[in-house]
């Protein structure tokens, strides 16, 4: 399971890279009144794919590392901020982020003007990226802190 945890930890950087690239494209596209380009499409497609992969790895960890089992003793686990974070908060906020990315991608495809496409990118992917940033157990977050980079020990 250590390798899965390492993958999940490292893969966050791919998600963030594609997320910020998408956001940058959305901002420059919307405020610069650019046409919707191949780079816009590529960035949000890669953001979506990276979120899909991260969700899959997260689900493996959730079901095999004992987090799902903790739901049986929900009362006690909700009192413990560390267990509450990994059994409920992290998983549910990031599922919402994942849904936003998928709805966002469909909404961008459906929008009929370049301005509308960039606006949808900004709203949906912006919210998703914000949710991702606040749900990561950064080393500076007390009680739930995890390293920036995890490797074999
Ligand atoms: C964009 C989405 C996500 C990002 C960026 C992300 C990021 C992270 C990071 C950085 C850690 C700490 C890894 C470490 O200890 O070094 C972590 C832990 C964890 N994540 Fe995620 N995660 C995401 C989505 C999810 C989802 C959707 C689930 C569940 C369905 C999930 C389940 C978990 C679990 C269970 C742990 C704790 C693993 C353990 O210590 O046993 N993650 N996540």
| Tally of structural domains, the chain | 1
Q: Is the pLDDT of residue 3 over 90?
A: yes
Per residue in 38-52, pLDDT (tens digit) is 999 999 999 999 999
pTM over 0.75: yes
Report which secondary-structure segment, H or E, holds 52. helix 38-64
Domain that holds residue 110: 2-135
Which burial class, exposed, middle or buried, applies to 62 when counting CB atoms under 10 A from its CB (0-12, 13-18, 19+)? middle
Ligand 1 pocket, residue 51 CB under 6 Å? yes
Residue 84 lies in a domain: yes
Residue 100 lies in a domain: yes
Residue 143 lies in a domain: no
Q: To the nearest whole number, what is the mean pLDDT of the chain?
A: 97
Q: Is the pLDDT of residue 6 over 90?
A: yes
Ligand 1 pocket, residue 84 CB under 6 Å? no
| Centroid of ligand 1 to alpha carbon of 51 (angstroms) | 11
**pLDDT at residue number 153:** 85
Residue 145 lies in a domain: no
Residue 74 lies in a domain: yes
Please state, in angstroms and rounded to a whole number, the distance separating the CA atoms of residues 9 and 112.
38
Residue 140 lies in a domain: no
Please state, in angstroms and rounded to a whole number, the distance separating the CA atoms of residues 27 and 77.
41
Residue 99 lies in a domain: yes
Helix ranges (DSSP H) in 80-125: 81-84, 90-110, 114-120
Whose CA is closest to atom 16 on ligand 1? 9
131 or 74, higher pLDDT? 131
| Centroid of ligand 1 to alpha carbon of 5 (angstroms) | 8
Residue 131 lies in a domain: yes
3-state SS, residue 67: coil
Ligand 1 pocket, residue 129 CB under 6 Å? no
């Amino acid at each position: 399971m250590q390798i899965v945890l390492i993958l999940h930890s490292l893969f966050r950087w791919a998600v963030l890279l594609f997320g910020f690239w998408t956001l940058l494209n959305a901002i420059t596209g919307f405020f610069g009144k650019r046409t919707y380009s191949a780079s816009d499409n590529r960035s949000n497609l890669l953001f979506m794919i990276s979120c899909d992969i991260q969700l899959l790895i997260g689900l493996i960890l959730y079901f095999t590392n004992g987090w799902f089992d903790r739901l049986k003793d929900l009362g006690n686990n909700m009192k413990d901020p560390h267990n509450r974070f990994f059994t409920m908060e992290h998983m549910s906020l990031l599922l919402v982020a994942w849904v936003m990315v998928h709805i966002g991608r469909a909404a961008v495809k459906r929008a009929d003007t370049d301005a509308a496409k960039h606006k949808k990118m900004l709203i949906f992917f912006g919210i998703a990226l914000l949710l991702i940033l606040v749900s990561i157990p950064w080393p500076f977050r007390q009680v739930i802190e995890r390293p920036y980079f995890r490797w074999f020990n």
